Amino acid sequence: MQASKPDELPRSNRDRTARTQGALMQAARALFVDKGYAETSTPEIVAAAGITRGALYHHFEDKRALFRAIVTGEALAVAAAIEQRALAGLSPIDALVEGSSAYLDAMRVPGRTRLLLIEGPSLLGQAEMKRLDEENATRTLRSGLEAAIDTRGLPLAALADLLSAAFDRAALAIDAGEDAADYRNAIVMLIRRVVAR
């Protein structure tokens, strides 16, 4: 029998931990989207994940911590989608347009609008959701604005906050069944006619 390498056991533990956390997050996400946070119980989550309740509390302090991890993952995914589309080589305004389009597309992932724009603020509070947004989607927007316009003397944080609110409103409207093309065109017009000046 060959002796295991020193790093095999920790990697195995890391893999097990990642699998368990992933199963819990996937099961909880589906339930939170389908039923809402308040109507989802921890026994339902662990049953759907095929994991013990003890394992849930080993990996997450409570249901709220699990929800926070899911929302954080959603916010990271949105920021990654924006960064992927707003590639180098585009003009700064075109990068803003592509980034805004990427945001609207990323928010069309089923359940994401509910998690980030409805359940998240309700459960975690506006301050925590604003901080999370500023670390992710709003960070990409602020970066795009800095590249696109002379921001000296402008209240950049406020401008990014207002534009972010417009993007969120568009995502909510699209999620509610409004015409995505209308909102996408309105956002492009907003960027090209207001921000570009």
- Average pLDDT value over all residues in the chain: 90
Average pLDDT score over residue span 169-185: 97
Q: Return the structure tokens found at 9.
A: 């056991």
Q: Which domains, and CATH codes, for the chain?
A: 10-60 (1.10.10.60), 63-196 (1.10.357.10)
| 85-101 pLDDT, tens digit each | 887 788 888 999 999 99
- Residue 177: phi and psi, rounded to 5, are 110, 0
Average pLDDT score over residue span 12-39: 92
Residue 152 confidence class, pLDDT cut points 50, 70, 90: confident
**pTM score of the predicted model:** 0.87
pLDDT, position 196: 66
Helix pair 126-135, 63-85: axis angle to 10 deg: 30
| 47-84 pLDDT, tens digit each | 999 999 999 999 999 999 999 999 999 999 999 999 99
**% of the chain with per-residue pLDDT over 70:** 92
**Cα–Cα distance for residue pair 187/98, rounded to 1 Å:** 11
Q: Whose structure tokens read 């003397």? A: 153
pLDDT at 151 over 50: yes
pLDDT at 10 over 80: no
**Cα–Cα distance for residue pair 94/148, rounded to 1 Å:** 9
Whether the CA torsion 150, 153, 156, 159 is positive or negative: it is negative
Biggest distance spanned by C-alpha atoms of the chain: 72
Helix pair 180-190, 156-175: axis angle to 10 deg: 170
**Cα–Cα distance for residue pair 69/97, rounded to 1 Å:** 29
**% of the chain with per-residue pLDDT over 90:** 69
